[in-house]
Structure 1
Amino acid sequence: MRARVQEIVFDCADPAVLVRFWAGLLGGDPVDRSPDWSYVDPPEFVRIAFQRVPEGKAVKNRVHLDLEVPDPARAAEEALSWGAEPVGRLVTDEQGSFQVVRDPEGNEFCFVSG
């Protein structure tokens, strides 16, 4: 049996806020199915969903998304206007560059190039 990824789900406190943040980054229209569940279908990507949970985020993500962009520093700066927060500094090596960023609820992801 082979499985196919249907969607990636983030646990969160406010699905309506996060779906709009991620729709801004990835494209697509935010959908609020209920106060506890929102999602976006970004173009050429799997659905990203947001599920309300009672507990807050306590530690670093064990899995994160790497989002390919032409300029990670510029992408991180633009994401600030949607509520993102950069983590550390831009890292550049022979493979390219990346910038770790947190979404409005603290979920880490990276803008990458190279």
Structure 2
Amino acid sequence: MRAQVQELVFDCGDPAALVRFWAGLLGGDPVDRSPDWSYVEPPGFVRIAFQRVPEGKSAKNRLHLDLEVPDPETAADGVLPHGAVRVGGLVVDAQGSFQVMRDPEGNEFCFVTG
């Protein structure tokens, strides 16, 4: 049997706010199914959902999204006003470059080239 990815789900404290951050970043219209569940269907990607949980984030994500952009520094500058945070500096190596980021609830993601 093979399974197919239906959606990626982030645990969070404020689904409505977080879905709007990610919809702004990836495209698509934010949908609030209930106060505890929101989602966005970015063009060309699987649905990303956000479910309210009572506990806060306590450790580094074991899974994160790498988002390809022409310039990680410019992309980072563009999301800072929306609540994202840079983690460290730009990393450049033979494969390209990347900038580690956190969304408004602390979930890590990277802007990458390469």
After TM superposition, is the score higher than 0.5? Answer: yes
Q: Equivalent residue for 1:73? A: 73
Q: Equivalent residue for 1:25? A: 25
**How many residues of Structure 1 are paired with residues of Structure 2 in the alignment?**
114
What's the RMSD between the two structures over aligned residues?
0.4
Q: Pairwise mapping of residues 11-50 of structure 1 onto structure 2 (< 5 A)?
A: 11-50=11-50
CA-to-aligned-CA distance 1:41-100 (integer Å, 9 cap, x gap): 000000000000000000100000000001011101101011100000000011000000
Q: Equivalent residue for 2:95? A: 95
Q: With the length of structure 2 as denominator, give the TM-score of the two structures.
A: 0.99
SS in 2 for 1:16: helix
Note the residue ranges of structure 1 that are not aligned, 5 or more in a row.
none
Note the residue ranges of structure 2 that are not aligned, 5 or more in a row.
none
How far did 1:26 drift? Answer: 0.3
Q: With the length of structure 1 as denominator, give the TM-score of the two structures.
A: 0.99
Task: Return the alpha-carbon distance in structure 2 between the equivalents of residues 81 and 27 of structure 1.
Answer: 17
